[in-house]
Chain A
């Protein structure tokens, strides 16, 4: 499973767009990129998953460049409730099954 590197923490203000970049230099051909959000004393919550280019859903966008060695999670117009830890995961879901490998995550603090 490819190792991921993401910033330990980030600060933002309400209403701003937040971009969290994850580096995964050793990503393999069959690997997907998945982001989870976790609030204190709760389980992680799936945000978005992608393989290449851009994926958008109702809460976030995921940008993946052509070489796939990094990815950026974009949260538009954050609010105080977006304060959480965000995890970037990379793995061959088809072969590794549901064995997720979590890194340290990025602790996002949204300020008023």
Chain B
């Protein structure tokens, strides 16, 4: 079974631009979560989508948004990029129900803001 796939693996942007990251979950998984990892703040939860609906949201500004499609694939968007948005963005999927199922992570998209 293929794992969680994130594209692109690396991305370089400049301040003020916007970016869209993509995540394809494991086949059959309906829950997709996004995390931001930085050396200073560690791993922080961004949001979770289940059946195309946002089910949970972390403490991030409105510049961070996401969506999920009917095939469970998900995208996250960051607008008006800031230097502090440089991070590894991780996507994780799980069956979604019941909720106490381990999450499977992709290897992330490393976003660098110049």
- What is A's interface to B at a CB cutoff of 8 Å? 32, 34, 41-46, 49, 87, 93-105
Contact = CB atoms under 8 A, between A and B. Distances in A.
Contacts of A34: 102
A103 B98 CA distance: 24
Contacts of A99: 33, 45, 48, 56, 58
B70 interface: no
Given A42-B107, A98-B50, 9 more contacts: A32-B100, A42-B105, A43-B108, A93-B101, A98-B55, A99-B33, A99-B48, A99-B58, A102-B42
Most buried by B among A87, A96, A98, A105: A98
A43 B4 contact: yes
Nearest to B58: A99
Main secondary structure of the interface of A (DSSP, over half): loop
Contacts of B7: none
Contacts, number: 74
Most buried by B among A32, A45, A97: A97
A97 B98 CA distance: 9
Interface in B87-114: 88, 90-92, 94, 96, 98-108, 110
Contact of B45 (A87, A101, A104): A101
Nearest to A47: B102
A103 B43 CA distance: 8
Interface in B24-82: 31, 33, 35, 42-45, 48, 50, 55-56, 58
Contacts of A87: 43
Closest 3 CB pairs of A and B: A43-B105, A93-B100, A102-B43
Nearest to B88: A41
A100 B103 contact: yes
A41 B110 contact: yes
